[in-house]
Amino acid sequence: MPATAPRLHHLDAARALLLLLGLPFHVATKAIFESDPAATDFQQSLWIGGWASVTHAFRMFAFFMLAGYFAGMIRERKGTRVWLDERVRRLGLPFIASLLTLGAVQFQLQHIVLHRPSPPFMGLPLALDHLWFLVVLLGFCATYAAVPLARIAPGERMRRAMLLAGPESLVLLALLALWGLVRYAAEQVPAIPDAPIESLLWQQFLFHAAGFALGVIAWHARIGAQLFALRSRWIIPGIVMLLIPYLALDPLLRPALGKEIYPDLAGTLTLRAIELPLAMLMSLALFRLLAWAVKGPSRTISFFVDGALAIYLFHLIWAMLVLPQARALPVPAEVQWMTASSAVMLLAIASYLIVRSNGITSALFCGTMPAPNPKVSSQPSANAR
């Protein structure tokens, strides 16, 4: 696969979908874990807990895997310096702008509306919340940029492992399980004093490095077209085998199953060992499904690809404002959650439409300047990279 590899249109859909799946997830977690009083009816719902658990199992792994793949593609195509400068502009600028504006508003809303104070970031009254992924992604880009391209040369065994084509794949899944246990060990390191968010940040960097690294390797191994539309008879049985214990151990679902929110030590170690192998298999299943469903460019997909970042950046403010009203509705918790999630989606899309109409706000919150005549493009979207 040359550096000018054919575009995989379904990866555009995947990139947007993985961010947008975070909206109903954060509506649920804000209600359950970051509201006072907590939404115990949300926590005890099998539908809400099941959705949150299943999507959380693979969403960020798949996101960082795609990010690593596109990082390899664009770095090789444009050169390290140009690619890194572009990453700083497209990711760093929206992060700073969002942290200083949306983060400041979220910090206040957390206390005023949800009645549970938000921890500060860097000692300032700013809520990092969902913005952490931009910090971690920038850290991955900086780390990858420091590695000479000539040093990244995956061999045939690595290709077979990632394509689930032989016993090497079992080794890869075992290494992912081991990396999950490394995460558990990192969680036992004492937190940075008075800095819980900063402590969580480096743990997220460590844990999600696996997905980003596999995406980078997929590009350098020239297996993107195969990997992101992989046909393997092992994927579905593997998902079923790992998902059953995962759901029984996941704190997002345990209360709905009538169990204590956190498993015991053996359960926690089991959860950490299976979550990355499960995430990889579920990501491959999603990519395959999208490869079957998305055959070419689409105006709808292009709209959400271009807007996914801004929609995601704005959605948490709307979630905080909408949740109290949704929870006051005299309807079941599942209806409250779906109503709040739908309202948050519409309001976040409206926010994107507003900020993209101006060159400055588009650069600050979308990472790009608005196109004068938007069309369906045959080139990868900037936000899909």
Q: Write down the residue that tokens 């199953």 correspond to.
A: 257
For the cut 90, the answer to whether the pLDDT of residue 378 exceeds it is no
Beta bridge partners of residue 124, listed in sequence order: 121
Share of the chain above pLDDT 70, in %: 94
What are the pLDDT digits (tens) for 243-300? 999 999 999 999 999 999 999 999 999 999 999 999 999 999 999 999 999 988 889 8
What are the pLDDT digits (tens) for 138-147? 999 999 999 9
What are the residues whose beta carbons fall under 8 Å from the beta carbon of 185, sequence distance 6 or more? none
C-alpha pair distances (Å), 149 with each of 145, 210, 224, 363: 9, 18, 17, 30
Predicted TM-score (pTM) of this structure = 0.93
What is the token pair recorded at 236?
């579905």
378 versus 342: the higher-pLDDT residue is 342
What is the token pair recorded at 172?
């890869």
Nearest in space to 179 (alpha carbons), one of 206, 139, 159, 140 = 206
Determine the average pLDDT of the residues in 237-246.
Answer: 98
Separation of alpha carbons 93 and 97, rounded Å: 6
Nearest in space to 43 (alpha carbons), one of 349, 322, 318, 251 = 251
pLDDT tier at 375 (50, 70, 90 boundaries)?
very low
Average pLDDT taken over every residue of the chain: 92
Burial (Cβ within 10 Å: 0-12, 13-18, ≥19) of residue 234: middle
